[in-house]
Amino acid sequence: MTTIRLAAALLAATVLAVPAFAEDPAPATPAAPAIAPPVAPPTTGRVYISYPAQDKATYDSQFAIDDAWLADAIKPGTCVYFDLPPGKHTMHTTATANWYVELAAGDAKYADLKYRGGSINNVVPVDGTAPVDLTACLKGTPPGG
């Protein structure tokens, strides 16, 4: 009887010491695809402002919408968007050139901030195309918004 108990004890110890055979791990879940920012509310248009990295334009850019300055400057290498009421809007930096845009509800317009030479803060908005990655654009707060 002692031999049977000893054998049972050895068997139990062996079973507990051997790691359990795990099933093959589940395949990794693929990363979710990048999702573009939601569309503008139906009663507004959206303006994207891209400030691509450029030589000599390594400073934050002050930016005004309809002659009201944003509280936060736009940083190089970033993109922001603003949801604005339909109508004509004027946008500019501290440089003298203006960018004029007319928005209808549901529109999306794009501008790039480009270095134009001259003074240290001579970055102006110009007609642009949609940034390659709209998900990199952050929502900006328009003046008074």
- Per-residue pLDDT at 56: 79
Structure tokens given for 47: 């303006």
133 pLDDT band, cuts 50/70/90, is: confident
Q: How many CB atoms lie within 10 A of CB 42?
A: 7
Q: How many CB atoms lie within 10 A of CB 125?
A: 27
- Per-residue pLDDT at 44: 94
Q: In the predicted model, what is the mean pLDDT of the chain?
A: 77
- Per-residue pLDDT at 82: 93
- Per-residue pLDDT at 37: 63
Structure tokens given for 49: 């402002």
- Per-residue pLDDT at 4: 54
pLDDT in tens, 58-116: 888 889 999 999 988 999 999 999 999 999 999 988 887 888 999 999 999 998 888 87
Cβ neighbours for 85, distance < 8 A, ≥ 6 positions apart: 43, 44, 45, 103
> Can you tell me the distance from the alpha carbon of 135 to that of 4, in angstroms, rounded to the nearest whole number?
69
Q: How many CB atoms lie within 10 A of CB 73?
A: 13
Given a contact cutoff of 8 angstroms between Cβ atoms, the answer to whether 91 and 111 are in contact is yes
pLDDT surpasses 50 at 20 = no
Distances (CA, A) of 133 to 22, 60, 141: 41, 21, 20
Helix (H) or strand (E) holding 101: strand 98-103
pTM over 0.85: no
